Amino acid sequence: MRATIQTFQSKQGDCIFFSIENDEKRFVTMIDCGKYTDDIREYVEVTAEKHINLLVVTHIDNDHVDGLVEMLEQTPDVRIDQILYNCNQLWNGQPKIQPTDAMRQNMQTLSTNLPSRQKNDNGKIKADKAVMLAEKIGSNDAWWEAWKKDEYITAAIKPILLDEHDKKFGKFVVLTPTVAGIERLNKNFKVEYARLTKHILAEGGNVVGQETLFELVERLASMKRRNYEVMEPVKSGAVTNCFEENKLKEAFDFEPRGVSDENGASIALMWEYGGKRVLFMGDAEPDDVAERIKTVYGVDKLEVEAVKVSHHGSKHSTNKKLLNQVDSGHYFFTGGNLKDKPSLEAIMKIVNRGDERKRTLHFNNKENKTVKELTSEQGMAVKERYHFEVADNNEFEFEY
pLDDT at 236 over 60: no
| Percentage of residues in the chain having pLDDT higher than 90 | 70
Is the CB of residue 244 less than 8 Å from the CB of residue 291?
no
Q: Report pLDDT for 377.
A: 86
Residue partners of 149: CB distance under 8 A and separation at least 6: 89, 90, 91
Mean pLDDT of the chain: 90
SS (H, E, C) the chain: CEEEEEECCECCECCEEEEEEECCEEEEEEECCCCCCHHHHHHHHHHCCCEEEEEEECCCCHHHHHHHHHHHHHCCCCEEEEEEECCCCCCCCCCEECCCHHHHHHHHHHHCCCCCEEEEECCEEEEECCCCHHHHHHCCHHHHHHECCCCCCCCCCCCEECCCCCCCCCEEEEEECCHHHHHHHHHHHHHHHHHHHCCCCCCCCEECCHHHHHHHHHHHHHHHHHHHHHHCCCCCCCCCCCCCHHHHHHHHHCCCCCCCHHHHCCCEEEEEECCEEEEECCCCCHHHHHHHHHHHHCCCCEEECEEECHHHHCCCCCCHHHHCCEEECEEEECCCCCCCCCCHHHHHHHHCCCCCCCEEEEECCCCCHHHHHHCCHHHHHHHHHHCEEEECCCEEEEEC
Q: What is the pLDDT of residues 362-399, one digit of tens each?
A: 999 989 999 999 998 889 999 999 999 999 889 999 99
Cα separation, 267 vs 16, in Å, equals: 14
Q: Report pLDDT for 124.
A: 61
Q: pLDDT higher for 113 or 9?
A: 9
Is the CB of residue 359 less than 8 Å from the CB of residue 306?
no
User: What residue ranges do the domains of the chain occupy?
Assistant: 2-399
pLDDT at 356 over 50: yes
The pTM of the full predicted model, rounded to 2 decimals, is 0.92
Q: Is the omega angle on the peptide bond into residue 177 within 30 degrees of 0, that is, cis?
A: yes
**What is the band of 120 on the pLDDT scale with cuts at 50, 70, 90?**
low
Is the CB of residue 216 less than 8 Å from the CB of residue 189?
no
Tally of CA atoms within 13 A in the half-sphere of 49 that contains its CB:
5
